[in-house]
Structure 1
């Protein structure tokens, strides 16, 4: 930032008066980021704008494994489109749905009716939390982060899930949820693998 200010000062006659507190005679308060209109458009497009609300993105312990040959397959293109729209939302302003979307994305090449129902569940959750936004403001608190991992959370391959979120200015600025690359033999090993991934991000 100092380099940018110096470059501007070299080109123009200006004075640095510190952090901006007023803009066009208006007071600058907290910054909020959200996608309520995007979510509403999705609900309308899929015809579920008046759906029954859900209180969680997915049911706890939801599994995407299914090797039953009799399961009803659904249209791959439609499923991938919905996952793509939800993933973009999860990566920009809705970290609360990222883990659920990442789970269902594993079925992009072979989606069944129960996976499509999982997508609808996430949409129902978004319908009930449409106005939730990321909020950033001056807090005086230091940069902080939270990490966690389960142990063998996926029954298909017994791999664990890793998740983290970093906070600055009172809100999340970086988050991720992914399956670990190797099978952990204990909860301790799963947590250590999680920390290793976090250190790679930080460094």
Structure 2
């Protein structure tokens, strides 16, 4: 069990009450949970979430040194039936939702074909693994700075060529480090960019309101949330594509843009 709160006295009281009802052991400050390592540096006022060991494990599990020959259609089907493509994508998804928002877009693309993956999807999955191999120690770094909540939303019109549905991507940062991110197909087939922007703003606005309420429970009340892309809780603010941190979740970006987005949301190696 992981217990979090704004008062150490209330946390200790809760643990005392629980220990009277259940056989339990106090392990102290959390060092690891759900495959994520928690690294505290009180001297520098930072807290990091790392999945370095998990990434190393999946790289080892899906050997990246095996050469694959060029295959024809029938041979490709036979070959793909023996390839653990779905397992690879599932492993990548766990890294993506926990500490690696930088692979959200590419994992989202390959995951759409998990039921019937082709050779190109397997090659794309291995490309993601190669990227992780080069950034194994990258982790989310939280600073003890001003905890200001900001959101970034981006939409891609009719990005799914099969359903013609648009994709909403968003990133929320707290004190400069991302705490919530997602990539979702919209439920409707929109006729214009303005329509998908309103749909995205509504969905992501709800996420911001929930985050605001959650932070309020933790004693970190926000004065006013800012959503970059109006209601009493959210300000919708225009931001250029070159500065939108959600851009890397929307499409393939240049190496320079990826580095800018990664550094801006608190992902550090």
Shorter-chain TM-score tier: 0.7 to 0.9
| TM-score normalised by structure 2 residue count | 0.57
Aligned twin of 2:60: 44
Aligned partner of residue 159 in structure 2, secondary structure: coil
Unaligned runs of 5+ in 2: 17-41, 68-72, 210-269
CA distance in 1 between partners of 2:88 and 2:11 (Å): 44
The one of 103, 108, 111 aligned to 1:97: 103
| Deviation at residue 85 of structure 1 after TM alignment | 0.4
Aligned twin of 1:85: 91
In structure 2, do the counterparts of structure 1 residues 202 and 161 end up closer, same or farther at CA, with 3 Å as the change threshold? same
| Deviation at residue 28 of structure 1 after TM alignment | 5.9
In structure 2, do the counterparts of structure 1 residues 50 and 134 end up closer, same or farther at CA, with 3 Å as the change threshold? farther
Aligned twin of 2:76: 72
Contact 1:31 1:136 in 2 (8 A): yes
Aligned twin of 2:260: none
Report matched runs for 1:107-186 at 5 Å: 107-186=113-192
Contact 2:151 2:208 in 1 (8 A): no
Aligned twin of 2:214: none
Contact 2:85 2:117 in 1 (8 A): yes
Contact 1:40 1:49 in 2 (8 A): no
Aligned partner of residue 64 in structure 2, secondary structure: coil
| Deviation at residue 6 of structure 1 after TM alignment | 4.4
Aligned partner of residue 166 in structure 1, secondary structure: strand
Aligned twin of 1:29: 45
| TM-score normalised by structure 1 residue count | 0.74
Deviation string, structure 1 residues 20-48 (Cα, Å, up to 9, x no partner): xxxxxx73631111112221222222222
> Once superposed, what is the RMSD of the aligned Cα atoms?
2.9
1:190 aligns with 2:175: no
> What count of residue pairs does the alignment treat as equivalent?
173
| Deviation at residue 123 of structure 1 after TM alignment | 0.8
The one of 5, 11, 16 aligned to 2:9: 5
Q: Point out which structure has higher relative CO (alpha carbons under 8 A, 6+ apart).
A: 1
